[in-house]
Amino acid sequence: MERHRVWISFRSFIANLIDRYQLNTIFKLLIYLVLIWIIGSTWLYFTEKDYKLTQTEIARGEVNYFDSFVGSFRNNIIYIFSGFEDYVPHTTAGWFGSIFVMLFGSLGVMALLIGNVTTIIQEGTRRAQFVRRKPTYGKFHHHIVICNWSKKVYEIINQLHDPVLTEQKPIVIVSESADQIPIKYTNVPLSRFKNVYYIKGDPTSTEILLLAGIERAKTAIILADERLGIRKYSGMLDNTSNDSTDRLFASSDPTDVKNRRKLIDAKSILIGMVAESINPEVHTAVELVDSHSRIHFERTRIDEIICADTIASKLIAQCATTNGLSEFYVRLLTATQDSNEIYFVKVNGGLIDKTFRQVQKIVLERKLDTILIGFVTKRKKETLDRHGKQVDERVVVINPKSKENMNSNFNRNYVLGKNDYLIAIAYEKPSNPNFFLTD
Amino acid sequence: MEEREISAEERKIRDHIVMCNWTSKSDEIIKELHSGVIRDPRPIVVVTTQRGKVPESSEPHYQGVLVVPGDPADDRTLIRAGIEYANTAIVLADETQGEHADTKSILISLAIEAIQPRVHTIVELLNSKHRGHFDHTYVDEITCVDELSEKLIAQCAITHGISDVYLHLLTATDDTNEVYMVDVPRRFVGKTFRELEHFLIDYEEQDIIPVGLVTQEVMEKKGQILRNHGGKEIVGGFLTINPPGDNVHVDGKRKSRDYKLQEEDKIVVIAYEYPELEQL
């Protein structure tokens, strides 16, 4: 069972509040205030209680306000908030007491409190413009780590925190290239930044990755560090500037460009390797800018490579052959309530031990708005790995063939097992029991 | 690959693909367009100022690739490339231009349109913010690399391993599938998408999975109906992926699974090669 919620104990919840609103300063000030109040009240009680009012004073209507212990405390509050009013002391020692309270209590601590609250509100407003720094206390589980910051992060957050997804995993961004990550004036609704945190540090370092909780993370996305070698970036980002082309093509000399691309990829693959070595189970997806770097990835344990160049080239070629295809793919890739996506659905319940063709027919009969396009299974790799062990490799079968093929049994009559997945195009991830035949 | 500088026009090349600008993507694109699985590979005419960058290759997929040196934004160069008779034009972003690449691409698209508006133009955009500039052109398809990769990366985080599926569908070879759009087979005119699905599951001659359909609808942009110069509504193809059965998702132009297919519609399918459905 996946646990994706942030596991924060009660103690750290309080720690969070204190940290966020700088409550420790306010607590200190409040304690001072209370102390001053107690000292002042006690002083005034003991100095004023035995005072006998003179005839003229009684005639004027004055009262000894400090003759009872409780009364003394009660009336002292007025000093703090407003001043003497009618509660004038009658002994000289009493006067010292009230001056003490007013100077240190009212003018001193109260003013500080008000000043502090104002600063806190200002700081809060300023902080609200950026992604929050990851607090040291919080432990995340099954979260997503994004290494290297670039413009792409916004769209990724947009998709990953879309309300249509029932699980909203926390996202931790690790990068050394930005002091702050702005969240206003992007196309992403502010609510989607709720569980997003930022660690400023070098993503190739083990310590930083551990800080990000890589050993408990589910996915690690490593983006290309487009600002590599250009300049140390600090300050606000200008969302209108053309970030990616600026960085990738900083010089127009093609050899320069090529070398930079190779360096960017080298760094990305390095981060992937470090992540996998700390946590081999984390699913690493690395963005490559040069398709020739692919060969290096094959020697690592990185799970997925996304090469924008390759995808774009293939898509452009497909569009030239079949006009209008770009819309098809863009729609499939955009995750919203109203559009289709491709999902992997774990084979469950009544679907186990049925053939692919049978499941296709079931989906049709039950009029589920889903189209099955294939399945994913595992098989033993033919070559042994470095240690001489036989490992599994994932096999993705799309549009399984009908005719029996001598070389493989991955056709429409393949019997689905309980570790297999179905590949489906649907409006949302199929989860209702109807789909799994568990009525 | 041809070396002599004879224009495509002189060679009477027709129905070809014009590729403007030679970039790091060009080699991959040519490989895909001339892969073995394509039935009738079209000739490719490359228009570029950097003639020397195009490799002299004797590999099979460089057969039928012609280079016309010159500026792709220049009318005369385009005419020499035979743009008037071309089927498709691909405008690639010129990497050496840095942040002005997109501007150059717009100029090239306008030049193409001025000579031959009917050619199917595909433009590669580097910065998605420039998409709005293409509203004033009739460019048929815009591929924004950044947008694609960010969406794909996000999908990979949600569904691990999904990039394999997309890579598989996008690669044109004998043992991978591609997405095709074909005319509705005569036999299925008047029938529903559901009936088509039923038929194709058991159809063993070809392995085809239907995933959507394209219907002819009045085109709209930002809520406004598009009209041509004569005031008539422009009708274009509207894509519906995975037509829904219930009424929750059916809205506006989106067709339901029980919509009766018409003659001018197309069906979108996944198949290993271009489907031959006419003889059904």
Cα–Cα distance, B137 to A170 (Å, whole number): 42
Taking CA–CA distances from A315, the nearest residue in chain B reads B170
B204 and A303 within 8 Å at the Cβ level: the answer is: no
Does residue A423 belong to the interface with chain B, where contact is any CB pair within 8 Å? yes
User: Is A391 touching B (CB cutoff 8 A)?
Assistant: no
Give residues 226 to 245 of A whose Cβ lies within 8 Å of B. 240, 242, 244-245
Chain B positions touching A372 (Cβ under 8 A) are: 209
A328 vs B: CB within 8 A: yes
Beta bridge partners of A145: A172, A220
Q: Specify whether the CB–CB gap between B43 and B13 falls below 8 A.
A: yes
Contact A423 B96 (CB under 8 A): no
- H or E element, residue A172: strand A171-175
Residue in A249, A316, A339 closest to B124 by CB: A316
**Residues B229-249 pLDDT 10s:** 677 777 778 889 999 886 555
Task: Please judge whether A360 and B155 are an interchain contact, meaning their C-beta atoms are less than 8 angstroms apart.
Answer: no
Residues 191-220 of A with CB under 8 A from B: 219
Nearest by CB to A320, from B17, B201, B204: name it.
Answer: B17
Question: Hey, are the CB atoms on B28 and A303 less than 8 Å from each other?
Answer: no
Q: Give the closest-approach CA distance of A191 to chain B in angstroms.
A: 18
CB-nearest to B101 from A245, A311, A325 is A245
Q: Which residues of B touch A165 (CB under 8 A)?
A: 158
Which of B102, B151, B203 is best to mutate for the A interface (most A CBs within 10 A)? B151
Report ipTM for this prediction.
Answer: 0.87
Tens-digit pLDDT string for chain A (439 aa): 334 445 556 666 677 677 666 777 888 888 888 888 888 888 888 888 888 878 887 888 777 777 788 888 888 888 778 777 777 888 888 888 888 888 888 888 888 888 888 888 888 788 778 888 887 767 888 899 999 998 889 989 988 888 877 778 899 999 988 788 888 878 888 888 888 999 999 999 999 999 999 999 999 999 998 877 665 444 444 444 445 544 554 555 667 777 888 899 999 999 999 999 999 989 999 999 888 888 888 788 888 899 988 888 999 998 888 888 888 998 898 877 778 889 998 888 888 888 999 999 988 888 888 999 999 998 887 777 666 777 778 888 999 988 766 667 788 888 988 889 999 998 887 776 556 654 4
The DSSP secondary-structure symbol of A140 reads -
CB atoms B157 and A317 under 8 Å: no
pTM passes above 0.95: no
Q: Is A329 on the interface with B (CB under 8 A)?
A: yes
Instruction: Look at A156 and B241 and tell me if their CB atoms are within 8 Å.
Output: no
| Cα–Cα separations (whole angstroms), residue B223 to B218, B220, B252 | 11, 6, 12
Q: How many CA atoms lie within 13 A of B168 on its CB side?
A: 22
Cα B221 to Cα A317, A335, B106, B129, B168: the distances in Å are: 26, 22, 20, 18, 32
Who contacts B272 (Cβ-Cβ below 8 Å, separation ≥6)? Answer: A399, A401, B37, B174, B175, B176, B177, B178, B207
List CB contacts of A283: < 8 A, sequence separation 6 or more.
A218, A219, A220, A303, A304, B160
Q: Nearest CA of chain A to the CA of B159: how many Å? A: 7
Chain B nearest-CA distance from A214, in A, is 15
